[in-house]
Amino acid sequence: MTVSSPPVKLEKPPQNYLNWAFGIKSWLLTTDHKRIAILYLITVTLFFALGGLAASLVRFELITPQGDLMSADNYNKSFTLHGMLMVFFFLIPGIPAVMGNFLIPLMIGAKDLAFPRLNLASWYVFMVGGLFTMTVIVVGGVDTGWTFYTPYSSTYSNGAVILAALGIFAAGFASIFTAINFVVTIHKMRAPGLTWFRLPLFVWAHYATSIIILLGTPVLAITILMVGIERMFKIGIFDPALGGDPLLFQHLFWFYSHPAVYIMVLPSMGVISELITAFTRRRIFGYKAIALSSLAIALLGFLVWGHHMFVSGQSVYAGLVFSAITFMVAIPSAIKVFNWTATLFKGTISFTTPMLYALGFIGLFTIGGLTGLFLGAAAVDVHVTDTYFVVAHFHYVMVGATIMAYMGAIHFWWPKITGKLYNEGWGISSAIIIFVGFNLTFMPQFIMGYLGMPRRYYAYPDEFQIYHIASSAGAAILAFGYVLPLFYLLYSLFFGPKAGDNPWNAKGLEWTTASPPPHENFEETPIVTEEAYAYPVPQKAEVTSGA
Amino acid sequence: MTTEQHSTTHHVMPVRTYLIVFALLMVLLAATIGVAFLHLGPFNRIVALTIALAKAGLIMTYFMHLRYSSKLALVFAGMGFFWLVIMLLIGMGDYIARGTIPGTF
């Protein structure tokens, strides 16, 4: 006799962008913005790791006052590589190309970005840029610093400069492609009912960022080309010996590279607005002020480049004007910080991993921003130019703000991207470790910079050693903090519990669709009927008197 | 506003227009080269820049289709021009005043 068991009905998992198609080709030729975001995520993580490795070499060398771990030349190459990789291949594409790519269509209720193929092209062009930069390492590296100041870069430095410049040129075009896509998508593809002042602030921030990228990056591209032309054809543009002006390079370079700081930090500010509202369960305080301050930063950010040149020999009158406008940039930045703080007031705050990163951001960005005012004051700047004070300042803005927001974003939207939940305990630990490690690394640099320790030196007087040791110890803690999420996030990918569509109970169109989202993002085009962050207004607690 | 309403009608320009614009650009190029051989003092630069502006204008109007574009595209093109002015104007501030030392107050 045979016993037949009832047929087991295997339930097919719901279709999503991850199981929509399989195989390496389906990834490398995808035009799905979500998959391209994942490609970018993997790539920028690799570049971040390489840039971090170069930073580790620098911090190792600086543990002792003597230059004993590597030669001065190799030290120069290490910090140049660190700067180049981190700025052009991690910080600038980081949040826009990964989080922006993934989230903007979801946040505005669209099926994809306006130009999906241009989006894929952007990643390929970015990879070509990365390839050039990797080749630079193989052929011996460059020692110009990430700023490529002329006439050193155009006349004296080795031949890899052109290769490095080409790498940055390509990476710049990748970000231009992304920016074009964002601008057109935000203008043309918003869901019905999603008016400009109902847009999530993340979208506003990316809109402002895209405008900066579109208006600034071509200037960098042409400047880099001119360095190449001068090197190869000896046409005098920047070299005084050929009739050029070296300061022209600095003008053009900083015309892009100062706004580039806002390319890095504006998307972070967009992230913070999302995190703060989700974890205080409150509508954002001063929505319009925050949205418009992003545009104000985009405009004012272009008018201050000369504050990088106070001691360069530029006209003192020009310095005066640049200094005055620099103080003005503080206003829209402060508007944001005050509004986030006001949102926290009387909010129902939950200290989750993304929220810890957001709170860390506010503190570190405030320190970074306020020390920027020290540097904007020309007289103080003369004292601390090219010292560790400057290094500490811009790391507080770029690492303290941008990477904190990047990490916060990864943790906040991880359940949406992967459909899985990570371990909250590990998440909170990593946020705290990164915050402690970061401050231990860069706070001593403010002090030694103010005391006169110059940047870009591989040997230094003994009196600075205590600060350098503290800084290197902090860097080790920081590195541990950055590696930790790699493990528990990957673990969650395979063994984590399912997240559900909206694990944070957050507002926003991206949370109304499945996790991970389906290939087309939404089964039906959503219709928006409420403003952003429409969290319920808390009821007043009833007070009952016992008497 | 909103939704996926793209303007799908693109203005198609006859090849003749492209050829005329191309010929005009070549004439302006010849003018640039010609002016370089004349000694007009400071006016050399002014003339060269004016011709360059005319060339850029032609390219933007016809080759980049600005003449038939939406107002939004015009706004963005205008922004690009405005930003160029910012760069040149503020940048020139340094070149004009460089080397002058302020007196003591």
Within an 8 Å CB–CB cutoff, is residue B72 touching chain A?
yes
What is the ipTM, given to two decimal places? 0.81
Q: Are B23 and B74 members of one domain? A: no
Do the Cβ atoms of A473 and A60 come closer than 8 Å? no
Of A192, A193, A315, the CB nearest to B93: A315
- Return the pLDDT at A152: 83
Taking residues A104-133, what's their average pLDDT? Answer: 97
Element (H, E) at A100: none
Residue A538: C-alpha distances to residues A281, A355, A534, A541 (Å): 9, 20, 12, 9
Check residues A93 and B41 and name the one with the higher pLDDT.
A93
Q: Say if B76 falls within a structural domain.
A: yes
- Facing residue for B4 by CB, picked from A189, A214, A315: A189
Domains of chain A from N-terminus onward: 28-508 (1.20.210.10)
Q: Do B1 and A193 touch (CB under 8 A)?
A: no
Residue B8 contacts A where some CB pair is shorter than 8 Å: no
How far does Cα A67 stand from its chain's mean position? 32
Q: Which residue of B has its CA nearest to A526?
A: B3
Which residues of chain A make contact with B96, given a CB cutoff of 8 A? Answer: 315
Whether residue B4 is contained in a domain is answered as: yes
Closest of A505, A350, A352 to residue A426, by C-alpha: A352
pLDDT digits (tens, 9 = 90+) for A41-95: 999 999 999 999 999 999 999 999 999 999 999 999 999 999 999 999 999 999 9
- A498 phi and psi angles, rounded to 5 deg: -65, 145
Is 50 exceeded by the pLDDT of residue B1?
A: no
Q: Residue B5 falls within a domain, yes or no?
A: yes
Q: Are the C-beta atoms of A109 and A194 separated by less than 8 Å?
A: yes
If asked whether residues B61 and B77 sit together in one domain, one would say no
Residues B62 and B74 occupy one common structural domain: no
B90 plus B61 within the same structural domain: no
pLDDT confidence of residue A540: 61
The Cα–Cα gap between A478 and A468 comes to: 15
Query: Region B71-93: what's the mean pLDDT?
Result: 90
Give every CB contact of residue A207 below 8 A, 6+ residues apart in sequence: A182, A183, A186, A294
Q: Which residues contact A200 (CB under 8 A, 6 or more apart)?
A: A107, A270, A273, A274, A508, A532, A533
pLDDT of residue A192: 96
A157 versus B60: the higher-pLDDT residue is B60
Domain of B36? Answer: 1-68
Lowest mean pLDDT among A65-79, A154-168, B33-47: A154-168
Looking at the domain assignment, is residue B42 inside a domain? yes
Looking at the fold, whether B7 and B44 belong to one and the same domain comes out as: yes
Q: Which residues pair with A420 in a beta bridge?
A: A498
Q: In the block, which residue shows the tokens 């008197």? A: A545
Please answer yes or no on whether B2 and A219 come within 8 Å at the CB atom. no
Q: What is the mean pLDDT of chain A?
A: 93
Quick one: A135 exposed, middle or buried, by C-beta within 10 A (0-12, 13-18, 19+)? middle
Our count of domains for chain B comes to: 2
**Does one domain contain both B40 and B86?**
no
Residue closest to A414 by CA, chosen among A273, A268, A275: A275
How many angstroms away from the CA of B23 is the closest CA of chain A? Answer: 27
Contacts of A306 in chain B (CB under 8 A): 90, 94
Q: What is the dihedral of CA A482, A486, A492, A495, to 10 degrees?
A: -140
* Nearest CA among A389, A378, A401 for reference residue A327: A378
Contacts of A166 (CB under 8 A, 6+ apart): A129, A132, A224, A228
Checking if the pLDDT of A503 tops 70, the result is yes
DSSP H helices, B1-105, are: 15-37, 43-58, 71-97
**Which residues between 415 and 434 in chain A have a beta carbon less than 8 angstroms from any beta carbon of chain B?**
none
A251/B94 touch (CB, cutoff 8 Å), yes or no: yes
Whether B105 is in a domain gets the answer no
pLDDT at A5: 63
Q: Are residues B94 and B54 in the same domain?
A: no
Whether residue B41 is contained in a domain is answered as: yes
Of B3, B90, B102, the CB nearest to A192: B3
- Percent of all residues in chain B with a pLDDT value above 90, rounded to a whole number: 49
The values of phi and psi at residue A285, to 5°, are -80, 125
Question: How close does chain A come to B40, measured CA to CA in Å?
Answer: 21
Chain segment A176-235, per-residue pLDDT in tens: 999 999 999 999 999 999 999 999 999 999 999 999 999 999 999 999 889 888 888 888
Whether residue B63 is found in the same domain as residue B79: no
- Residue B3 φ then ψ, to 5°: 45, 180
Contact A106, A521 (CB under 8 A): yes
Q: Which of A496, A478, A395 is nearest to A443 (CA)?
A: A395
Q: Is B6 on the interface with A (CB under 8 A)?
A: yes
Residues B37 and B64 in one domain: yes
Residue A514 has pLDDT above 90, yes or no: yes
A386 touches A329 (CB < 8 A): no
Alpha-carbon span A400 to A413, nearest angstrom: 20
**Claim to verify: residue B53 and residue B15 sit in the same structural domain:** yes
Summarised one tens digit per residue, pLDDT across range A337-372 is 999 999 999 899 999 999 999 999 999 999 999 999
Nearest CA in chain A to B76: A211
Say how far apart CA A380 and CA A389 lie, in whole Å. 11
Q: What are phi and psi of A382, to 5 degrees?
A: -60, -40
- Residue B15 sits in the same domain as residue B33: yes
Tokens for A291? 């949205």
Q: Which of B1, B72, B79 sits opposite A215 (nearest CB)?
A: B79
User: How high is the pLDDT of residue B3?
Assistant: 43
Is the CB of residue A419 less than 8 Å from the CB of residue A515?
Answer: yes
Chain B CA closest to residue A317: B97
Cβ contact, residue pair B1, A195, below 8 Å: yes
Task: Verify that B34 and B80 share a domain, yes or no.
Answer: no
Residues of A in contact with B99 (CB under 8 A): 315
pLDDT in tens, A290-311: 999 999 999 999 999 999 999 9
With respect to residue B91, please indicate whether it lies within any of the assigned structural domains.
yes
Closest residue of chain B to A525, computed from CA coordinates? B3
Which chain B residue has its CA at the smallest distance from A310's CA?
A: B94
Contact yes or no for B94 and A192 at CB 8 A: no
Helix (H, G, I), strand (E, B) or coil at A542: coil
Which letter, b or e, does each residue of A57-90 get, where b requires 16 or more Cβ atoms within 10 Å of its Cβ?
bbbebbebeebebbeeeebbbbbbbbbbbbbbbb
Instruction: Output DSSP code: residue A535.
Output: P
Distance CA A187, CA B4 (A): 10
Contacts of A314 in chain B (CB under 8 A): 94, 98
**What pLDDT score was predicted for residue A157?**
74
B2 interfacial to chain A (CB closer than 8 Å): yes
R_g of chain B, CA atoms, integer Å: 20
Tell me the residues of chain A between 297 and 316 that have a Cβ less than 8 Å away from chain B: 302-303, 306, 313-316
Spatial CA neighbour of A304 closest among A252, A366, A259: A259
Contact (CB<8Å) B98/A315: yes
Alpha-carbon span A106 to A86, nearest angstrom = 28
Determine, yes or no, domain membership for B104: no
